[in-house]
Chain A
Amino acid sequence: MFTISEITYQIKNILEENFENIELIGEISNYTKHKSGHHYFVLKDNNAQINAILWRSANLNFELKDGMKVIVKGNIEVYPPHGKYQIICKLLKPAGEGDLYLALEALKEKLKLLGYFDSNRKKKLPIFPLKIGISTSPTGEAINDLISTIKRRNNLLTIYFRPTLVQGDGAAEDIAKAIEDLHKYDCNVIIIGRGGGSIEDLWAYNTEIVANAIYNSRIPIISAVGHEGDYTISDLVADYRASTPTAAAEIVTKITVDDLLKFLEESKIKITTKITNLIELYKEKLDDRVKKRMVRKVESLFNIEKQKLDYFSSILFNNMNNKLNLFKNKTNSLYNILNANNPINPLNKGFALLKYNNKFISKNKSLLEFEDITIVRQNENVIVKILEKL
C-alpha cells in the first residue's frame, strides 16, 4: 500500500524522467498572466488538455492569447500538493503564420495601450546629423545600401556600425543591445533595419524587447525593415519609419553637403546684407540726429552772438547820439545866449554904432578925442567930423 505522497512521488519520478525536453503543439486556453509576470494557461487539442506554465524569466517575444496555436518546449512536472501534472515551458512560439499574426496583433494592441505608438512622444529627426548609428546584419545588402547611400550624399558623416543579428534565436535581444550600445557613441540618429523577408524572418522586429529598447532610446530611431505590407512593431514604435534601408539613408542625409554649402553661402549673403543695412540705417539716423543737434546748437550760438553785436551796436549809436544831442543842445543854447548879446543887434532896430579906425569906440572915451568917426547903421556907413561938444 502507498501513501498519497509515495504514489505521487513515484508518478512524479516516472513522468519527469520520461517527458523531459518534449515539444508539444496545442491551442492556448484559459490564459492568465499573473501579477508576478508568470504565464498560466492550458494547452489543448480536440480531445485532451494539459496545464502549462511559462515563467516570467523565459523570453516571450509576443503576447499570448486564447485560441492561439503554439509550439512549446519544456518538461512535464508533477505538482504534488495539487496532484496535477503540467508542462513547464522553456520555449514557446506561435505554431503557424496565422498564429504569428495573432501574436503580433496582441502585442500591437498592448503597446498601443501603453502609448508606444503615440506620435506626440516621437522624437524629431536631426536635420543634419553628424553621427549615425546603424544596427543591421554585417552580411546582406542592407549595410552596403546604407553606407553607400549615406557616403554618396554626405561624406562628412561618421557612421557607427554595430553588426547585429537580425533573425533567429537571440536576434531580438541583440537588436535591443545594439540600440543600447550605439548610445555610447552619442549618435544623433540610429537606424535599425534589415532587408525584406518572411514574417518569421522579420520576427525579431516584432518583439516587445525591441519595442522597449526603441521606446526607451534617448536617440531618435529610424526603423527600416524592408518589407511590403504591414508595419513591424519596430516601425510603429520608432520615431520614423523608412520602407527600406536605402530610404532610411536618404532621410538622414536629407540635406546633402552641397545643400549645406549652398545654405551657408545664402546665409552669408543674407546676414551681410542685413547687417550692412542696419549699419547704414543707424549711420543715417545718427548722422541725421547728431548733425541736426550740432547745427541747431551752433546756429543758436551764432544767433546769440549776432544779436548781441546788433544790440551793442544800437546801444553804442544811441549813446553817442544822446551825447551828441547833449553837446548840440549845449552849443545851441550858448549860441542863443551869444546871439542875444550880439552888438550888431541894435542896428536892426534903427540904432547906430560908432567906430573909429574900424573899431567900436568904447563908452569911456570922449568923442572929442577923435577928428572924425564912422557912424555904422544897418544899411549905410558914413564918416562925420567932430566939431564941438554941446
Chain B
Amino acid sequence: MNEMTFEEKIKKIEDIIETLEQGDEPLEKLLELFEQGILLIEDCRKYINNAELKFIDITKKLS
C-alpha cells in the first residue's frame, strides 16, 4: 500500500467507494474494503499535512 503514489491512493479510494455503493459484496468483504478506504484516506491526509508543512517551511525560507 505504501508503494502507491498519492494519486494512486486517491484512485483506489474512489474504486472502494464505487464498490461500496454497489453493495453487492458480502458484509465481511464490505467491512474490509471500508477499513482499507479509511486507512487510505488517513494516509493521504498525513501526506497532505506533511506537504503543507514543507510548503510553509519553504515559503518562510523564501522571505
Contacts and interface: CB of A to CB of B under 8 A. Distances in A.
A260 interface: no
A309 B20 CA distance: 16
A316 B37 CA distance: 7
Given A312-B14, A316-B41, A302 B20 contact: no
A270 interface: no
B61 to A, nearest CB: 11
B51 A302 contact: yes
Interface residues of B, number: 25
Given A313-B38, A320-B20, A287 B62 contact: yes
Contacts of A316: 13, 16-17, 20, 34, 37-38, 41
Interface string A164-185: 0000000000000000000000
B63 A291 contact: yes
Contacts of B51: 302
Interface string A18-47: 000000000000000000000000000000
- The SS class assigned to the A binding surface is helix
Contacts of A291: 59, 62-63
- The SS class assigned to the B binding surface is helix
A326 B10 CA distance: 27
A313 B23 CA distance: 17
A305 B44 CA distance: 9
Nearest to B21: A319
Among A291, A302, A312: residue with most chain B CB under 10 A: A312
A315 interface: yes
A124 interface: no
Interface of A: 287, 291, 294-295, 298, 302, 305-306, 308-309, 312-313, 315-316, 319-320, 322-323, 326-327
28 contacts: A287-B62, A291-B59, A294-B59, A298-B55, A302-B51, A302-B55, A305-B44, A306-B48, A308-B10, A309-B44, A309-B45, A312-B14, A312-B17, A312-B37, A312-B41, A313-B41, A315-B17, A316-B38, A316-B41, A319-B17, A319-B20, A319-B21, A319-B34, A320-B30, A320-B31, A322-B23, A323-B27, A327-B27
